[in-house]
């Protein structure tokens, strides 16, 4: 059977368990409606999401920049800003070292551009994934020293780079580490270490991305040099790009930063971002803003592609250039990188699925470690994500080149991947990451021991029950409520992402107006009706993953969906994007979603 066929998908994946939130009290809904003059469906959603008073709901729907936390609350940030201000005043060169992903590249571009705008001298570098690996390393320090750096600033990296930081200090550089990854037991011996997750840091937002931390340092630097506060908002486009692409929590301060950053992205005053938006086929403008989905699935992957299969410096130059012609050339380079990345990813995913067909046992295995020779290390993270989608287990994918393997892991919400890998670190050369994503280096002969240790730990922590994907739904919605008005108001509840997921509605006991159409062998399209109202639905990649068409057409069904806008040949309609569909009456999981 060909990997990725419906049969393979069915064997490797389980149907999601619907977890439905209890409905809000009618009296609370009426109170919000009376106070806000908004549709009942939106008020129900606000209550379910925890915004119980009129004041709370208003604050959520219309967040303001004045609610951002004081950047001085970041431990070490004041000291970092004072040193950078001194470098600007003295004309000393600051080299900003980012990582090779969207967050590191965006953050490095942000701080470099800001220092230059303040009259300072700044260069930016990011590592090559293949030659240098992730994080600040010896080659990164040597590159900064060769440029004559007086100050070396890391962005989105450096918190566990103890030896490279010592090397930089010994070479005469003042080192400022700005990062958001989890620290190890020892902090680097830098002039300043700025990380909301470092011990003793009381900053309330522990979910800043690397570019967000750099932005906060930039705010303090600008204040040191007497610049007006509102100049900082010019850099929020890069913060939004990084926050969404790095899958940070889109709640609280992050949601405010991203909300206003997406507005800046829509106008795209940076030539590089404008060229990138055009190469992605987006046409932002009034009524058609750049949203979090466009960043996550179109802009972010193109920047990441440079670091995965091309030259990550090309993406950095794209974000820094003021030359429109250069921006166009670099955007096309990233477009070609992205096409190459897709082809490589599909090939390796197919090989990994073949390995799962041979070795994976759903009842036995609570985690999976797969490896291959000659696999491109730049796509292991994406492949791991694809496998997690299929099997709902933590997955580590390792690409070997000779005896050295470079791997990436992705996880499920109930398993802390960074903690799991840390517990098995005796088998690794190095590692780093987050709760849900991590990277590692490993020597070939240590892989069997690591696999056994990691999978055993997953069995202990996840327990005997077989993990199942969960579909978390917000509220039941009548088809008569699912129209343009609700879709328009839902835009105020965004941006959507981790921590503020796109609302998922359930239309219960609806009838299909006809048998579902199967498009391109994998997508479902149909229209549902109930009580005189109807709505069109599209379900991407659902053919073979839901009950057969004749079962769905035979009786009432429940449809879990999001509301989306469909623009086709100048005609705009609202339709449902199907998350799952099942015969009515199947039980949902109890408890809060």
> DSSP string covering 113-150, please?
HHHHHTT-EEEEE---TTTT-SSS-HHHHHHHHHTT-S
Amino acid 13: pLDDT: 59
Amino acid 542: pLDDT: 87
Residue with tokens 């449902």: 576
Amino acid 129: pLDDT: 84
Dihedral angle computed from the Cα positions of residues 359, 360, 365 and 366, in that order, rounded to the nearest 10 degrees:
130
DSSP run (H or E) holding 539? strand 533-539
Distance between CA atoms of residues 515 and 182, nearest Å:
51
Amino acid 5: pLDDT: 38
Contact 545, 516 (CB under 8 A): no
For the domain spanning 67-334, the CATH number is: 3.90.1640.30
For the chain, 593 residues long, give each residue's pLDDT as a single digit of tens.
Answer: 333 333 343 445 567 899 988 999 999 999 999 999 999 999 999 999 999 999 999 999 999 999 999 999 999 999 999 999 999 999 999 999 999 999 999 999 999 999 999 999 999 999 998 888 778 999 999 999 999 999 999 999 999 999 999 999 999 999 999 999 989 899 999 999 999 999 999 999 999 999 999 999 999 999 999 999 999 999 999 999 999 999 999 999 999 999 999 999 999 999 999 999 999 999 898 778 999 999 999 999 999 999 999 999 999 999 999 999 999 999 999 999 999 999 999 999 999 999 998 889 988 999 999 999 999 999 999 999 999 988 999 999 999 999 999 999 999 989 999 999 999 999 999 888 888 899 999 999 999 999 999 999 999 999 878 888 889 999 999 999 999 999 999 999 999 999 999 999 999 999 999 888 989 888 999 999 999 999 999 999 888 778 887 888 888 999 999 999 887 777 888 999 999 999 998 777 654 44
Cα 67 to its chain centre, rounded Å, is 23
DSSP-assigned letter for residue 295: I
Cα 537 to its chain centre, rounded Å, is 26
What are 339-347's contacts with CB under 8 Å, separation 24+? 340/305, 340/309, 340/310, 341/301, 341/304, 341/305, 341/308, 341/309, 341/378, 341/379, 341/382, 344/309, 344/376, 344/378, 344/379, 345/379, 345/382, 345/383, 345/386
Fold of 360-462: Diaminopimelate Epimerase; Chain A, domain 1 (3.10.310)
Residue 215 DSSP SS3:
helix
∠ at Cα 379 (259, 544), nearest 5°? 85
Residue 566 DSSP SS3:
strand
Dihedral angle computed from the Cα positions of residues 469, 474, 475 and 481, in that order, rounded to the nearest 10 degrees:
-110
Contact 246, 103 (CB under 8 A): yes
b vs e for 50-62, b when ≥16 Cβ sit within 10 Å of the residue's Cβ? ebeebeebeebbe
Domain 6-62+470-583 classification at class level: mainly beta
Contact 103, 284 (CB under 8 A): no
Residues of the chain with CATH 3.10.310.30: 360-462
Distance between CA atoms of residues 500 and 205, nearest Å:
15
Residues of the chain with CATH 2.40.50.460: 6-62+470-583
Amino acid 521: pLDDT: 83
Q: What tokens does 501 get?
A: 């997921």
Distance between CA atoms of residues 102 and 212, nearest Å:
12
CA distances from 240 to 101, 235, 260, 497 (A): 14, 9, 8, 12
Amino acid 12: pLDDT: 55
Angle of helix 300-309 relative to helix 236-245, nearest 10 degrees?
70
The pairing of beta strand 93-97 with beta strand 151-155: parallel
Distance between CA atoms of residues 139 and 132, nearest Å:
7
Amino acid 322: pLDDT: 97
Residue 119 burial by Cβ neighbours in a 10 Å radius (0-12, 13-18, 19+): exposed
Q: What tokens does 160 get?
A: 């566990």
401 DSSP β-pair partners: 404
Amino acid 14: pLDDT: 67
Residues of the chain with CATH 3.90.1640.30: 67-334
Nearest CA-CA partner of 9 in 386, 539, 395, 344: 386
């Amino acid at each position: 059977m060909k990997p990725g066929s419906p049969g393979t998908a069915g064997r490797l994946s389980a149907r999601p368990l619907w977890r439905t939130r209890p409905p809000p009290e009618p009296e609370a809904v009426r109170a919000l409606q009376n106070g806000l003059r908004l549709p009942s469906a939106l008020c129900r959603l606000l209550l379910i999401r925890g915004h119980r008073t009129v004041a709370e709901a208003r604050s959520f729907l219309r967040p303001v920049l004045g609610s951002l936390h004081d950047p001085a609350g970041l431990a070490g940030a004041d000291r970092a800003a004072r040193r950078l201000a001194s470098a600007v005043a003295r004309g000393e060169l600051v080299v900003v070292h980012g990582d090779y992903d969207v967050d590191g590249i965006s953050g490095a571009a942000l701080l470099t551009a800001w220092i230059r705008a303040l009259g300072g001298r700044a260069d930016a570098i990011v590592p090559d994934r293949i030659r240098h690996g992730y994080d600040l390393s010896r080659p990164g320090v040597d590159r900064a020293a060769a440029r004559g750096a007086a100050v070396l600033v890391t962005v989105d990296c450096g918190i566990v780079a103890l030896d490279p930081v010592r090397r930089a200090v010994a070479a005469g550089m003042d080192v400022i580490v700005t990062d958001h990854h989890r620290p190890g037991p020892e902090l680097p011996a830098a002039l300043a270490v700025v990380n909301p997750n470092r011990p003793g840091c009381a900053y309330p937002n522990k979910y800043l991305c690397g570019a967000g931390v750099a932005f906060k340092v930039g705010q303090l630097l600008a204040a040191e040099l007497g610049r007006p506060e509102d100049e900082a908002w010019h850099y929020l486009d890069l913060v939004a790009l990084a926050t969404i692409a790095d899958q940070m929590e889109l709640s609280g301060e992050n949601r405010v930063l991203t909300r206003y950053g997406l507005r800046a992205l829509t106008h795209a005053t940076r030539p590089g971002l404008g060229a990138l938006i055009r190469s992605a086929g987006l046409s932002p403008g009034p009524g058609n803003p750049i949203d979090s989905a466009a960043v996550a699935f179109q802009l972010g992957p193109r920047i990441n592609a440079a670091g995965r299969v091309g030259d990550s410096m090309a993406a950095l130059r794209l974000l820094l250039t003021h030359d429109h012609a250069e921006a166009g050339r670099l955007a096309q380079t990233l477009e070609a990188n992205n096409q190459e990345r897709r082809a490589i990813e599909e090939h390796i995913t197919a090989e990994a699925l073949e390995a799962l067909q041979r070795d994976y046992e759903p009842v036995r295995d609570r985690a999976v470690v797969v490896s291959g020779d000659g696999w491109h290390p730049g796509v292991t993270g994406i492949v791991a994500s694809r496998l997690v989608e299929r099997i709902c287990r933590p997955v580590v994918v390792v690409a070997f080149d000779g005896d050295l393997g470079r791997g990436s892991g992705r996880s499920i919400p109930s398993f802390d991947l960074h903690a799991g890998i840390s517990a098995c670190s005796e088998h690794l050369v190095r590692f780093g990451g987050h709760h849900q994503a991590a990277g590692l280096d490993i020597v070939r002969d240590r892989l069997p021991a690591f696999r056994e240790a990691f999978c055993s730990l997953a069995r202990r922590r996840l327990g005997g029950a077989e993990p199942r994907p969960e579909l978390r739904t917000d509220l039941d919605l009548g088809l008569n409520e699912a129209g343009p008005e609700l879709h328009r108001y839902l835009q105020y509840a965004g941006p959507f992402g981790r921590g503020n997921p796109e609302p998922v509605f359930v239309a219960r006991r609806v009838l299909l107006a006809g048998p579902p159409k199967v498009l391109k062998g994998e997508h479902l399209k149909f229209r549902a009706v109930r009580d005189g109202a109807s709505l069109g639905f599209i379900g991407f990649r659902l053919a073979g993953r839901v009950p057969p068409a004749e079962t769905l057409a035979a009786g009432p069904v429940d449809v879990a969906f999001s509301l989306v806008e469909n623009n086709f040949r100048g005609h705009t309609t609202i339709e449902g994007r199907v998350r799952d569909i099942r015969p009515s009456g199947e039980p949902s999981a109890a408890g809060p979603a």
